[in-house]
Structure 1
């Protein structure tokens, strides 16, 4: 009986191992070897859209970095969504100084409650230009060429540009976990896009055309989902023909990370709610990826407990680990988180089990709010 158990567990372990190698060598390797081609020096009028709810401090600290971009023709549309702090005063003050700032104000309604998608939709309707660029109130562009780097991708059939938004480095393990999760998420959605299978984007740094938004009927298909103004829109409208990526360091947008496990936990539960309504093909490919990673660690532990030959098991672990380091090392550098490589073995293990716990909890979590 013990021999049969060993054979079954070892066979499943090998399947998980091979699936992991597939995702590493066939999909994720694309980002590490990706070479950005020089784009034509052309400019299109751009509307930057930011939705803000009670973001007084962040607007004061970060909005000038957006308003002062080195770009000839752009506007910044800030949707002040039912704020009860001093956001309105900050925006009025900035409106006197910056002529390219347009403010859309949403007032609280006693009976009508809305999420971020409603605010984004109003921002898009208020935008004057065809090319839209999105970020958040707590974000700071890495350079004054952010708009330029993102918009120059709009040539030919391109309708969606997937950017990258790292989190600012702070002290503590939580910061490392958040930044690793962000690294892995970006590694995945950027690599899958390069493989011709774009499935999501991040609203902190995302661009698409106004005509695509209205052609796809905006957020109508998933307006009932509180989150997903970014990833669900991309999931619904992106294809291998109309989507490109942009990871030039000048195009990055830095964001403030959560500072407590409870706030990070709430944020991740909200994000996972959107994943439930991804396209079936996308859910399958991501489930196989996450499932094989988790199975690899679980089955490895079982094999150790049933006294399998340790050197055989160790060889599988080392092969996967070395392939990961080979593929991830250049990506860590390109995505501004090379310090995490020293924490990688522990973070990879913790991350996979943390995502499992979140996935289980999200199945029973019903009430989710934007803010």
Structure 2
């Protein structure tokens, strides 16, 4: 298996997180490829020091920008083409595997039909409201795309923890269908290549990756704006299904309040109670599987928060994507 990490000016993150990929317990040969994409910091010298100790580390240094291909799609394509092994495992420089069995257990997911494996990219748990909101949104998104994949209708994955075979990458001509979009090296590729028979998920805790959440509201909004800018390119069926879910989620609490005021509060509370019970069961089971149970006491507050979340980020669905990473 070939682990691929693209990095631009990520010396600090590489120093902290790269060892987690380099000390994996894997039964056969593997490699870790770091694509250094035109970095101006000390990444080059840091990687040279790592190479002295870890022979499985290979560094690809890019010294020229790819014209008309924004984001990290070009360096990622170079990394995949450089990979010696058929199966590639992708993560980011700001991510660290949750265990030393990440590579091994992701590899074990494959069988003859499987070409894509979706993993869970979690965030480090910290104090504060912002951390809970970020982790809740990450959990909520994962619950959707992992469930859709189980149901045979995969539509996205996350580049923090994603694996596929080189053959499927080249069969779909890499990212050529959306090279003009800065984001989408993960979700838009999965949208293009995934089917109900070639995609599996792995939510073993040993296969999780962990990344640092945004440190402030502005940074988080910038990250989510970039991610949501790709939603307009999803397949119509996925846009419809996700749109219906989000719209009904958005309308629930305003309609609940209106029903209590103008109709009958008893009936409104029965509907709320039934929904609350279903949510309590579903969220508990999913949070247990994804090791996010500390969010469970907050789930009602976080569910209400989604009303404001949709208002804040709805404009990002139609905004033109930026050209940066």
TM above 0.5, yes or no, is: yes
Report if aligned partners of 2:8, 2:38 keep a CA contact under 8 Å in 1.
Answer: yes
Q: Number of aligned pairs?
A: 324
From 9, 25, 39, the equivalent of 1:83 is 39
Once the two structures are superposed, residues 68-124 of structure 1 have per-residue CA deviations (whole angstroms, 9 ceiling, x without a partner) of 101121101101111111111111111111111111111244976731111110111
Once the two structures are superposed, residues 36-72 of structure 1 have per-residue CA deviations (whole angstroms, 9 ceiling, x without a partner) of xxxxxxxxxx000000111101101110110110112
Once the two structures are superposed, residues 234-269 of structure 1 have per-residue CA deviations (whole angstroms, 9 ceiling, x without a partner) of 111101100000001111111111111101001101
Alpha-carbon distance in structure 1 between the residues aligned to 2:111 and 2:10: 34
- 1:70 aligned onto 2:17: no
Partner of 1:323: 278
Partner of 1:126: 82
Once the two structures are superposed, residues 314-336 of structure 1 have per-residue CA deviations (whole angstroms, 9 ceiling, x without a partner) of 11011101101111102112112
Partner of 1:310: 265
- 1:160 aligned onto 2:116: yes
Once the two structures are superposed, residues 5-63 of structure 1 have per-residue CA deviations (whole angstroms, 9 ceiling, x without a partner) of xxxxxxxxxxxxxxxxxxxxxxxxxxxxxxxxxxxxxxxxx000000111101101110
- 1:368 aligned onto 2:283: no
Alpha-carbon distance in structure 2 between the residues aligned to 1:143 and 1:82: 30
User: What is the 5 A alignment of 1:170-249?
Assistant: 170-249=126-205
Report if aligned partners of 2:66, 2:74 keep a CA contact under 8 Å in 1.
Answer: no
Partner of 1:282: 238
Compute the displacement of 1:209 (Å).
Answer: 0.2
Partner of 1:116: 72
Partner of 1:272: 228
Report if aligned partners of 1:290, 1:352 keep a CA contact under 8 Å in 2.
Answer: no
Partner of 1:256: 212
User: How does the TM-score come out when normalised to structure 2?
Assistant: 0.96
Partner of 2:310: 355
Q: Identify unmatched segments of 5+ residues in structure 1.
A: 1-45
Please tell me the root mean square deviation across aligned C-alpha atoms, in Å. Answer: 1.4
Compute the displacement of 1:200 (Å).
Answer: 0.5
Alpha-carbon distance in structure 1 between the residues aligned to 2:63 and 2:70: 11
User: How does the TM-score come out when normalised to structure 1?
Assistant: 0.85
Partner of 2:96: 140
- 1:299 aligned onto 2:255: yes
Alpha-carbon distance in structure 1 between the residues aligned to 2:159 and 2:217: 22
Compute the displacement of 1:296 (Å).
Answer: 1.5
Compute the displacement of 1:370 (Å).
Answer: 3.3
Alpha-carbon distance in structure 1 between the residues aligned to 2:311 and 2:190: 24
Secondary structure at the counterpart of residue 166 of structure 1: strand
Compute the displacement of 1:158 (Å).
Answer: 0.2
